[in-house]
Amino acid sequence: MYPENFRYTKEHEWILVEGDTGTIGITDHAQEELGDIVYVDVPKVGARVERGKSLGSVESVKAVSDVYSPVGGEVTAVNETLADAPETLNRDPHGAGWLVKVRLSAPAEILELMTAADYRKYVEAEK
Amino acid sequence: MVDFGGWDMPVQYSGVIDEHRTVRNAVGIFDVSHMGEIEIRGPEAARLANFATTNDAGKLTIGQAHYSGLLYDHGGFVDDILVHKVADDHFFLCVNAANQEKDFERIRSINRFDAQVEFASERYAQIAIQGPKARATVQKLTTVDLAAIRYYWFADGAVCGVPARIAHTGYTGEDGFEIYVAPAEAERVWAEATLAGAEFGIKPCGLGARNTLRLESAMALYGHEIDASISPLEAGLGWIVKWDKGDFAGREALLRQREAGVKRQLAGFEMRGRGIAREGYEALIDGAPAGWVTSGSPSPTLNKNIGLCYLPVEHAQPGRAIQVTIRNQPVDAVTVETPFYKRAK
């Protein structure tokens, strides 16, 4: 369910780091809690994001939720397909539903995030 | 699950959009037992019911119900309610869960008649079965001829063999029934209704779909479109105010407001730009703050982002270009006729 090579936040984001770039999305648990996602708001390429600060929002039928950046850095790509198909976040949150790619300013920040095993326990405990 | 006035309520089961469409196309079942009930009885029950509420309870026939307002003396809403006439000396009110105590206190405080006011919420659970297949579903559970119950009428009879009040009412804009039973029987009625509706594709529905359904139908939700600071005239609910029926609580203030002219009015709108308006967002006219959004959501039936907002009365007519501030950005919208959705009769 939760890929072993991802790291996770308490706010239910995930990040996959490859080289100096991290791909960020929301977890399967997050999409399930939110329900039908109808709108995704992400920053533009070139924007700076800060660890723990809002990098955008996802909106379900019910409500708007902030997405918090797991790391600091600069946005190098955004998932353009979500503008017309936000439901991708529900269908494939850990794959095609990725939100942004970020060039990490401090790669060591990753080590402070949860592993898949930690996150599984965290979600279980929240239920 | 969310806490809703002390009730543990499901927001969604299979998903808001799926539940919403199930109600529009087939049939959905809602546990709305959190709704409150107040009974007015006695020789002057009709006089109290009529004095306490804005609609003309004196015109109700036994077995008939209507939507009405319970107002403060200053004309703002204590609550919006359904009034059912059970007998000449017995009126049954269905009220909002979060308002039930203050409703009860308000009605008692203005009771200068030979009538008793009973707080009856613990005696009733309520299950709403809504959608084009609602009647076919409920008919399998009762010998009461549902086709004979007109819209906004009700009948007392057995459902699943237990005493029930079967009201041809709803909060979805779809045909349907709201069934009141003793709390001890609710689980069984729910289970049997779910079985009875299986052939039509019945699904359990939560608060999320209840909200999107009522919004498409532009039905007010207390705490959003109406509250203690809003009068029925502002909320587009002038039709539940019956001026000629005699005195009622709040009448004087409403009269003054009518004479002075209403300043703000509820309007429906559709988003033209990208984004969803939400409760509390600012509404702009010509770029300047002019009102506020009371409810906003994607409309699963219309595939548009819709909402309701208060605007200065001179701007509240359909076809006015407005903007809504979404995440600090003005986004274009336009006022439209309500309801957004009307079922084919």
Q: List the structure tokens of A98.
A: 């990725």
Contact at 8 Å (CB) between A72 and A106? yes
The CA distance from A2 to the nearest CA of chain B, in Å, is 22
For position B204, which CATH number holds? 3.30.1360.120
The CA distance from A107 to the nearest CA of chain B, in Å, is 30
| Nearest CB neighbour to A61, from listed B208, B274, B327 | B208
**B219 in any annotated domain:** no
| Nearest CB neighbour to B298, from listed A38, A41, A57 | A38
Q: Do A35 and B11 touch (CB under 8 A)?
A: yes
| Domain end among B190, B214, B238 | B214
Q: What is the pLDDT of residue A126?
A: 78
Q: How far, in Å, CA of B322 to CA of B17, rounded?
A: 27
- pLDDT tens digit sequence for A19-36: 999 999 999 999 998 899
**B162 in any annotated domain:** yes
Rounded to a whole number, what is the distance in angstroms from the first to the last CA of chain A? 16
Residue of A42, A61, A67, A90 to mutate, interface with B, max B Cβ within 10 Å: A61
Mean pLDDT of B303-322: 97
Helix (H) or strand (E) holding B192: helix B183-196
Q: How far, in Å, CA of A20 to CA of B85, rounded?
A: 71
| Nearest CB neighbour to A61, from listed B274, B298, B327 | B298
Res. B2: pLDDT tops 90:
no
Residues B94, B8 within the same domain: yes
Residues B81, B201 within the same domain: yes
**B188 in any annotated domain:** yes
- pLDDT tens digit sequence for B86-115: 999 999 999 999 999 999 999 999 999 999
Residues B270, B209 within the same domain: no
- The closest of B169, B156, B164, B148 to B67, measured between CA atoms, is B169
Q: Do B17 and A64 touch (CB under 8 A)?
A: no
> Which range of residues forms the domain containing residue B340?
263-345
Contact at 8 Å (CB) between A124 and A36? no
| Nearest CB neighbour to B16, from listed A41, A59, A61 | A61
Q: Do B16 and A35 touch (CB under 8 A)?
A: yes
Confidence bin at B205 (pLDDT 50/70/90): very high
Residue the block writes with tokens 């009762």: B142
Query: A41 at the B interface (CB within 8 A)?
Result: yes
Residues of chain A in contact with residue B212, where contact means CB-CB under 8 angstroms, are: 61
Residues of chain B in contact with residue A63, where contact means CB-CB under 8 angstroms, are: 278
CA torsion angle for B130, B131, B133, B134 (degrees, to 10)? 20
Distance of CA B306 to CAs A107, B91, B330, Å? 43, 36, 16
Residues B206, B331 within the same domain: no
Q: Do B275 and A60 touch (CB under 8 A)?
A: no
Q: What is the pLDDT of residue A11?
A: 94
Q: How far, in Å, CA of B324 to CA of B49, rounded?
A: 40
Inter-axis angle of helices B207-216 and B16-25, to 10 degrees? 60
Q: Do A36 and B11 touch (CB under 8 A)?
A: no
Mean pLDDT of B211-223: 97
Residue of B nearest to A31 (CA): B15
Q: How far, in Å, CA of B46 to CA of B90, rounded?
A: 8
Please give the full DSSP string across B66-119, using - where no structure is assigned: EEEEEE-TTS-EEEEEEEEEEETTEEEEEE-GGGHHHHHHHHHHT--SS-EEEE
**B145 in any annotated domain:** yes
For chain A positions 46-85, those within 8 Å of chain B (CB to CB) are: 57, 59-64
Query: B212 at the A interface (CB within 8 A)?
Result: yes
Quote the percentage of chain B above a pLDDT of 70. Answer: 98
Contact at 8 Å (CB) between B28 and B62? no
Number of domains in chain B: 2
Q: Do B16 and A60 touch (CB under 8 A)?
A: yes
The ipTM assigned to this model is 0.71
The CA distance from B297 to the nearest CA of chain A, in Å, is 6
Residues of chain A in contact with residue B275, where contact means CB-CB under 8 angstroms, are: 39
Look up the CATH number of domain A7-126. 2.40.50.100
Confidence bin at B8 (pLDDT 50/70/90): confident
SS3 B240: helix
Query: B297 at the A interface (CB within 8 A)?
Result: yes
Instruction: Tally C-beta pairs within 8 A across A and B.
Output: 34
Res. A12: pLDDT tops 80:
yes
**B246 in any annotated domain:** no
- pLDDT tens digit sequence for A51-103: 999 999 999 998 889 999 999 999 999 999 999 999 999 999 999 999 999 99
Q: Do B11 and A64 touch (CB under 8 A)?
A: no
For position B283, which CATH number holds? 2.40.30.110
Mean pLDDT of B45-55: 98
| Nearest CB neighbour to A62, from listed B18, B208, B275 | B208
Confidence bin at B5 (pLDDT 50/70/90): low
Q: What is the pLDDT of residue B336?
A: 98
Residues B267, B210 within the same domain: no
Quote the percentage of chain B above a pLDDT of 90. Answer: 95
- pLDDT tens digit sequence for B74-88: 999 999 999 999 999
Mean pLDDT of B292-296: 98
Residues B302, B165 within the same domain: no
The CA distance from A31 to the nearest CA of chain B, in Å, is 11
Q: List the structure tokens of B72.
A: 């403060």
Res. B261: pLDDT tops 80:
yes
Confidence bin at B71 (pLDDT 50/70/90): very high
For chain B positions 10-69, those within 8 Å of chain A (CB to CB) are: 11-12, 15-18
The burial class, CB within 10 Å (0-12 / 13-18 / 19+), for A126 is: exposed
SS3 B188: helix
| Domain end among B179, B214, B249 | B214
Mean pLDDT of B6-31: 91
The burial class, CB within 10 Å (0-12 / 13-18 / 19+), for B304 is: middle
Q: How far, in Å, CA of B100 to CA of B250, rounded?
A: 19
Please tell me the pTM assigned to this model.
0.90
Res. A49: pLDDT tops 60:
yes
Mean pLDDT of B112-133: 98
Query: B274 at the A interface (CB within 8 A)?
Result: yes
Q: How far, in Å, CA of B307 to CA of B333, rounded?
A: 10
